[in-house]
Structure 1
Amino acid sequence: MTSLPRITGTFLDEITHDIPSQNWGERQWRREFELYRRIGLDTLIIIRAGYRNRCIFPAQSLPDLLPIHEGPNGDLGELFYSLADEMGLKLFFGTYDSGFHWIRRSYWKEIEINRAFLDEAYARYGHHASFAGWYLAHETGKHDAHIVELFNGIGGHCKSLSERPVLISPYPQGAKQMGENALTLEESFEHWERIFDEAKGSFDICAFQDGQVHYDELPRFIRGIGELGAKHGIEIWSNLE
């Protein structure tokens, strides 16, 4: 009997964009990591290490950010990596999202901030056995010269620090988008053909979210993106939302 693909990972949404944060301490996170191991997950992704005015560690590169956990030295990232080491899990580090510069098309500022931020983060966490790679927190659904610039600038810097894989998790700019933002599947494939080509070498894994297209379009979308990934040497994962 053929078994369905199993779920192997999850995002740690400790700095959230649109829902309240858990405000957990060491005891609650330990219980959570033990659950991950028990149910067979092996991969965790910090969805963003910093967002707007918040950060998971006391960053010297961005000194005005607020800590979100007053644990050992106010460093939630160290708690995550220590727990992942202990549990034998792989943990991807999520980049900083200003929630401002890149949305206003000042991509060079977003890149500059992230370079210093990631230098500091790698010095803190790069020695951990569980440090599995990088996650580019900036999401897109279609080609844009500036998003390609951002992928190349931040993803390229991640690669300069460590050759561990870089992951993105975009969304389909599909039929559930509003008005002119809705792309057909054919248009989406054209957009991602260009992104995969122009940002080649800046990321290794693309985990598409499964929202924003109709259910009956999903099989074709997944097949099409899989074919593009194979063509451009990009590993394709699914992000089930």
Structure 2
Amino acid sequence: MITGTFLDEISHDIPSANWGRLEWAKDFESMASAGIDTVILIRAGYRDRCAFHSDVLRKRHGYLIVQDDLVELFLDLAQTHGMTFWFGTYDSGEHWVRGEHQAEIDVNLAFTEEFAQRYGDHPALGGWYISHEIDAFDDGVMRVYESLARHLKGLRDLPILISPYPRGAKQFDRPFTLEEHSQHWSRIFERIEGLVDVVAFQDGQVLYSELPDYLATNADLSRRHGITSWSNVESFDRDVHLKFPPIAWPKLRYKIEAARAAQVDKLITFEYSHFMSPNSMFPSAAGLHRMYMEWKRGEERRG
């Protein structure tokens, strides 16, 4: 079943739920009842927005936009519900996309150090998430991964997660073949082996007919390099023109069952609160939650 979820309130492609402490507390209760034991902050900052009052980012953006200290709130709620919290790094939205990889590294070294000084001893903190997503080998981003991974392990020796994506037909006019995908990710894993502990490939970019082969390939490649294989079972729908609604239940079930068949170690989703929660701003998410929970209970009865 899905036992982990990203938390996304610093987004650039889905709307804010405009939740405060009461709404988040209610949703963490819902996550716990659904079997979620792992929560991953997808990014603690993006461009001029941040999930806590960061002095490091305020030097970059004097008008830094901060709703609340969501990091402290998420850590405390995770502890209350016996969940593990993974901290997501900063995405400048600028440096690394322009090839200025050292600048991206430098701001993240300072930003994650600031986080560690404030929250690094919190008992719910159980992992790091490097938020820079890629689909192909890129030497500059490899240097970002390598530098940040070593730095994060030095701050607190916890597992490190990435959640990349295949260059699939749903997102690219010239998608990779499975062989090309395999070649790129063999090179990537050779570089990050021993630094990154967990990979959770996004599953929404490839055609449903291709997904089982990609899942099997991803699991095999990661294990060959000693990296734990999860699957990021996207709970939003890439197949409709609206960007992005909750996914249709039959599609979500298909992806869960395909990931099971590939024998990945854990299923996480992007992301429960927007697309699967009964508290979501999208009414259809409540229906998805109901159908998922009914199926989950049936699966658990069957053992």
Task: Tell whether the structures are fold-level matches, with TM greater than 0.5.
Answer: yes
Q: Distance in 2 between matches of 1:156 and 1:11?
A: 23
Q: AA paired with 1:42?
A: D
1:193 to 182, 186, 196: 186
Amino-acid identity (%): 49
Deviation at 1:61, TM superposition (A): 1.4
**2:64 is the counterpart of 1:69:** no
2:50 is aligned to 55
The answer for unaligned runs of 5 or more in structure 2 is: 235-303
TM-score by length of 1: 0.92
SS of the counterpart of 1:216? coil
Stretch deviating more after TM superposition (97-106 or 153-162): 153-162
Alignment of 1:219-238 (within 5 A): 219-238=212-231
Q: Deviations over 1:155-207 (max 9, x none)?
A: 22111111100000001112334334x11001001100000001222211000
Q: Give the aligned partner of residue 83 of structure 1.
A: 77
Take 1:177 and 1:12, find their aligned partners in 2: how far apart are those partners?
23
Give distance in 1, aligned partners of 2:4 and 2:14.
20
The secondary structure found in structure 2 opposite 1:215 is coil
CA apart distance, 1:130:
0.9
Task: Tell me which amino acid in the other structure corresponds to 1:219.
Answer: P
Give the whole-Å Cα distance in 2 for the aligned partners of 1:210 and 1:140: 13
Instruction: Return the letter of the residue paired with 1:236.
Output: S
Of 208, 212, 222 in structure 2, the residue corresponding to residue 215 of structure 1 is: 208
Aligned to 1:117: 111
Separation in structure 2 between the aligned mates of residue 164 and residue 178 of structure 1, nearest angstrom: 34
Length, aligned pairs only: 231
Q: Who is 2:125 aligned against? A: 131
1:125-172 deviations in Å (ceiling 9; x for gaps)? 211111011111110001011111111111221111111000000011
**Higher RCO (Cα < 8 Å, 6 or more apart):** 2
Report Cα offsets for 1:77-99 as digits up to 9, x if no partner: 11110111111111100000000
Cα separation, 1, equivalents of 2:12 and 2:229: 25
Check whether the contact 1:174–1:185 (CA below 8 A) recurs between aligned residues.
Answer: no
Structure 1 segments (4+ residues) deviating >4 Å: none
Note if contact 1:174-1:188 (Cα within 8 Å) is conserved in structure 2: no
